[in-house]
Structures are given as C-alpha cells and as structure tokens.
Amino acid sequence: MRPSNPRVAPLVAYDPKSLPADTFISANESPYDMDPELKQKVLERLAALPFNRYPDPLAGKLRALIAQGYGLPGPDCVLLGNGGDELLMDLFLAYGGPERTLLNTPPTFSVNAYNALLTGTRVVDVPRKADFSLDEDAIMARAARGDIDLLVITSPNNPTGNVANVGFLRRLLESTDALVLVDEAYMEFADAGCSMTPYLGEYPNLLILRTFSKAYGLAGVRLGYVLGDPRVIRELGKVRQPYSVDSISQVLGEVVFADRTRYDARIRETRGERARLSAKLAALPRVRVFASQANFLLVRVPDAHAIWQDMYEQDSVLVRDFSATPGLEDCLRITVGSPQENDRFLQALCKQLDRRR
Ligand SMILES: *Cc1c(COP(=O)(O)O)cnc(C)c1O
C-alpha cells in the first residue's frame, strides 16, 4: 500500500481529548442548550425544509443578515463555514501554502499550526510573554521584514483567555500588507471595546473570525463566519467546499442571529460566574489563575496532570489538561459552566489540593 502524502503521514489527527464526564467543562461549550421557544421556532422551519434540495451554496439569507447586523456594506463582506474551523483551513488554502509564511504567537489555538503543517506553510513563532500577553515589539519587528503572508491573532486567546490590545492591532494592520486574521471566537464574553469589528472598513487586510459554537451554544451545529474585505472573501470563496453549510445549519443560524440579544442574559451569567470562579481560585493556596475575557479560565497548579486525572477519576469532573504544551507547564483550562458545575469543580479541586498539602 502506498503511503499518504508526506506532509500528512507524520501528523497526528486533532484530538479534542473528550471523555464522558458528569461535569464536562473541557470544551468551552455553553452549559445550556437552546431556549425551548427558539428551538420550537427552528423545528417549525425545519419541517418546511425540502431535504432533497442542495442548500443555498453561500447561505445568502444568513450572510445578508450578518452583514446588516455588523453594519457592513454588503453580504460580500461575509463568508459562512462549517464551523470556524473550516474557515481557518480555507484561510491556509488561500493565503498559506508552500513558499508562504504564517506568523503565529504560541501558546495559542493549536489548529493554526496544524493547518500550516498540512498545507506546507512555513511558521514563524513569536512567543507570548510570561504573562501570555503578545510580544508587540517583536511582532512588529518580525512583520516589518516583509516576508510574512499571514498572521493569526486569537483574541481572547485560547487557552490563555487574554485579549490583544486594539491599538496594537491597528498599528500592525497599518504597518503590514500581510493578511491579519483576528480570531474572535470568544469575543462575546469580553468587555466592550475589545473587538476589531468597528475597524473592518478601515483595513482591507483585516479578517475577523466569529462562531456560533461558544456564546450562542451551537457547537453541535457547526457554523462560523468571517468578516472582511470583499476581495479577501472572494479568495476564500475559491477554496471553500461548495455546500459545506447545510440548509439545517443555515436555518439555525438565521433564527439565532436574528434573536441574538436573547443571549445577553446567558453571557452576563457566564461573565458573573467567571468572576466568582476566578476569585475563589485566586484565594486557593498554590493556585495561580490568569485573567480571562473568555468563557474559560487558565490556572497553573503544581502537579496539574495528576490533579486533572484524579478529579476525573474520583469526581467525574473533566477539565482540559494543557500541562504537556510548551509554555503551559502545569496549566489546566476550566470552561465556565453552570453555577452547579462550577461548584462541583471547585469542590473537586479543593479536595485534590487538600490531599496534597
Ligand atoms: C472554538 C474555536 C473556534 C471555532 O470553533 P468552531 O466550533 O469550529 O466554530 C475558532 N477559534 C478558536 C480559538 C476556538 O476556540
């Protein structure tokens, strides 16, 4: 049997490290399913949907709705994808590839480094500082050399939770002709003024990623979008799978986006729980909790891997273990869940810390 493509053969498939657990706070999902009233609206629309027909290839209705929602000139500033993850791959197909270079800022979302390997894109790492903030001077200096084609800045960053400085991103966009993707998968949970969406008209090389998976609780549906200059969107359209966003997802997206203010209360609850959890964690001995603007918290605790395992085995509490990731030694990421889930986690963690006193 012939081996696979030499770029593919050495890779290890993405592993979400998902295990069944009573308290599943490991994947940054919303703790709540769709509001029953809204779900009913979706089900009624699905009942009228002809499943034998191909979907609208570019999800025109949803595209127009999103463009209008952000005050963009037209639907050609928006592109929908099968989750944000599909659009991240499209980005590498269209702007990466052999002879092309990505500037990455680890520790950050691992999917981009993976897509770079898969597409043969060269990666230049400009590591974050010890507190996980971006090394702004180093990024500016490296981009100024002129060989960077693509930068991905995740803000709020996954898994560290901190946001990029808007003033810095604007200076960067002004200083380079490289495409800058700002991945705002968690921006709904951040303070006002952290998003780059107000500057979309100002910088043709700015592209913003958003998703329905996190604040809008549709991780199971697979729906994300990018916002940007129509010339960039056109290039992404060339590499995209023609029917990747099925008609069912389009209906869900339309219903949720049209009613998105309904989600404000949940987002407020998550922000409140984040503050409560963060304060409790900060008060624990030997635990360091990093400031977060997302729906998760990164903590550093001695013996993190063993604590992760014991919390899972003894109390069926699953958080995400990052202790094997360079720069994230002894770090665990905890998704902010419902108040009950957060309490169960705190209890399980305290038990493990007590055992190790
Ligand atoms: C979750 C996530 C996404 C997108 O997820 P999808 O479910 O594919 O929409 C993108 N970027 C980051 C950093 C994420 O954490």
**CA 263 to centroid of ligand 1, rounded, Å:** 18
The verdict on the CB of residue 85 being under 6 Å from ligand 1 is: yes
CA dihedral 140, 189, 42, 58 (to 10 degrees): -10
pLDDT surpasses 90 at 16: no
Query: Confidence band (pLDDT; 50, 70, 90) for 129?
Result: very high
In the numeric block, the tokens 């503050």 are attached to 275
pLDDT surpasses 90 at 219: yes
**CA 115 to centroid of ligand 1, rounded, Å:** 14
The verdict on the CB of residue 219 being under 6 Å from ligand 1 is: yes
**What average pLDDT score do residues 266-289 get?**
98
**CA 49 to centroid of ligand 1, rounded, Å:** 28
pTM: 0.97
- The pLDDT value recorded for residue 217 is 98
- Range in 9-13, 174-178, 212-216 with the lowest mean pLDDT: 9-13
The verdict on the CB of residue 117 being under 6 Å from ligand 1 is: no
**CB-CB neighbours of 93 under 10 Å:** 17
Q: Is 81 helix (H, G, I), strand (E, B) or coil?
A: strand
Q: Tell me how many degrees the CA angle 101-209-61 measures, rounded to the nearest 5.
A: 130
Per-residue pLDDT tens over the stretch 299-328: 999 999 999 999 999 999 999 999 999 999
Q: Is 296 helix (H, G, I), strand (E, B) or coil?
A: strand
Cβ contact 233:79 at 8 Å: yes
* Cβ neighbours of residue 7 closer than 8 Å, sequence gap 6 or more: 117, 118, 119, 120
Query: Confidence band (pLDDT; 50, 70, 90) for 139?
Result: very high
- The pLDDT value recorded for residue 301 is 98
The verdict on the CB of residue 244 being under 6 Å from ligand 1 is: no
The verdict on the CB of residue 213 being under 6 Å from ligand 1 is: yes
- The pLDDT value recorded for residue 251 is 98
- The pLDDT value recorded for residue 357 is 85
**CA 218 to centroid of ligand 1, rounded, Å:** 11
The verdict on the CB of residue 211 being under 6 Å from ligand 1 is: yes
The verdict on the CB of residue 183 being under 6 Å from ligand 1 is: yes
Atom 4 of ligand 1, residue of closest alpha carbon: 84
Average per-residue pLDDT in the chain?
97
pLDDT surpasses 90 at 14: no
**CA 30 to centroid of ligand 1, rounded, Å:** 13
The verdict on the CB of residue 224 being under 6 Å from ligand 1 is: yes
* 236-239 LR contacts (CB < 8 Å, sep 24+): 236/79, 236/87, 236/90, 236/91, 236/94, 237/58, 237/79, 238/94, 239/90, 239/93, 239/94
For a ligand 1 pocket test, name from 87, 158, 293, 320 the mutation site with the most ligand atoms within 8 angstroms of its C-beta.
Answer: 158
